């Protein structure tokens, strides 16, 4: 399994780092890809992540999943990048390719003409900026398996978003192992208590 996460200026760092970390814990090969011509990417809160590759050096067909983190500024940059839009369209039209978008980044799926065909969610305050076939307000992670698209609401849902990607790519057993190692069941039990 091979994953790609797209980073542009002003991406939401929590969402990017959580996804990268959790997928690597699940032994999923994830490439960090910069979309703007410099390997050093600076997020919305001035945290720099050095990407593995530039988008111009990547072929989308080589990936099982393409992931877009949120952040309004990062999402705006992704939406305005024709290479990103083309990559997402290509990934969506492939038989085996998944897409995962969190927080504000389903707005990129809207620009690519994908959101209109899926069941999905987005950061709640931005729900009026995306047209979904079916908008789901009360789920923090939505996996539209019919269309191979996973969406999630925002920074606090990033672990669950990443774990759903793991479940989809590696199965329930690996999902459960990684969740347990991250103490997710312990946190959920404490919150319910």
Cα 82 off chain centre by: 18
Per-residue pLDDT tens over the stretch 97-155: 899 999 999 999 999 999 999 999 999 999 999 999 999 999 999 999 899 999 999 99
Q: What pTM was computed for the model? A: 0.96
What DSSP character marks residue 41?
A: E
Sheet holding 141-144, edge to edge: 53-54, 29-34, 2-7, 65-68, 98-102, 149-152, 141-144
Structural domain including 156 reads: 2-192
Number of domains in the chain: 1
Q: Active-site positions?
A: 103
User: Where residue 66 sits, what CATH number does that domain have?
Assistant: 3.40.50.880
């Amino acid at each position: 399994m091979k994953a790609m996460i797209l980073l542009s200026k002003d991406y939401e760092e929590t969402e990017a780092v959580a996804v990268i970390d959790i997928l690597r814990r699940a032994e999923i090969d994830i490439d960090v890809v910069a979309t703007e011509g410099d390997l050093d990417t600076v997020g919305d809160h001035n945290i720099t992540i050095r990407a593995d590759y530039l988008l111009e050096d990547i072929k989308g067909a080589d990936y099982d999943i393409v992931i877009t983190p949120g952040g309004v500024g990062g999402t705006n940059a992704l939406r305005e990048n024709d290479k990103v839009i083309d990559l997402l369209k290509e990934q969506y039209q492939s038989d085996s390719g998944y897409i995962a978008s969190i927080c504000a980044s389903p707005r990129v799926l809207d620009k690519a003409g994908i959101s209109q065909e899926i069941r999905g969610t987005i950061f709640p305050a931005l729900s009026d900026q995306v047209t979904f076939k079916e908008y789901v307000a009360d789920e923090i992670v939505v996996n539209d398996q019919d269309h191979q698209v996973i969406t999630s609401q925002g920074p606090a849902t990033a672990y669950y978003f990443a774990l759903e990607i793991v479940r989809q790519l590696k199965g329930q057993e690996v999902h459960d192992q990684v969740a347990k190692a991250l103490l997710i069941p312990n946190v959920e039990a404490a919150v319910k208590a």
